[in-house]
């Protein structure tokens, strides 16, 4: 999860991910969408690949990239777990508060 988080923490990499979310694109096509040099994009693609967030497929001299949603699974689970646990705590606290009120009445 650490790698995926670090990877999507950079805005440019999120932009790249969004680009290859529904289309398979070559490194060059991806780079043409941005104002940075191709090597910069290449380095970002490598980070995304290492994090399991994109897949790479070679076709002739081109390399085609596309998003791998499974790479985000662990992070998604962490967030949802965190969220649920926090709401659970809030609920318990509300119940306690309710009980206190009830106690005062008698």
Binding site for a second copy (CB under 8 A): 2, 5-6, 8-9, 11, 17-18, 21-22, 67, 69, 72, 75-76, 79-80, 82-83, 85-87, 89
8 Å CB contact between 30 and 20: yes
By a kind-dependent CB cut-off of 5 to 8 A, residue 45 interacts, out of DNA, a second copy, none, with DNA
Q: Which position among 18, 21, 28, 81 is part of the footprint of DNA (CB under 7 A)? A: 28
Q: Which is nearer to DNA, 48 or 72 (CB)?
A: 48
Nearest C-alpha neighbor of 69 from the set 48, 55, 81, 53? 53
Q: Does 29 bind DNA (CB under 7 A)?
A: yes
Report the C-alpha gap between 25 and 14 in whole angstroms: 15
8 Å CB contact between 50 and 3: yes
């Amino acid at each position: 999860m650490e790698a995926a988080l670090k990877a999507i923490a950079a805005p440019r990499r999120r932009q790249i991910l969004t680009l290859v979310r529904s289309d398979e694109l070559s490194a060059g096509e991806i780079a043409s969408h941005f104002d940075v040099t191709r090597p910069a994009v290449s380095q970002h693609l490598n980070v995304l690949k290492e994090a399991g967030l994109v897949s790479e497929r070679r076709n002739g001299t081109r390399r085609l990239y596309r998003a791998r949603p499974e790479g985000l699974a662990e992070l998604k689970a962490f967030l949802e777990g965190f969220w649920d646990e926090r709401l659970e705590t809030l609920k318990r606290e509300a119940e306690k508060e309710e009980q206190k009120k009830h106690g005062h009445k008698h």
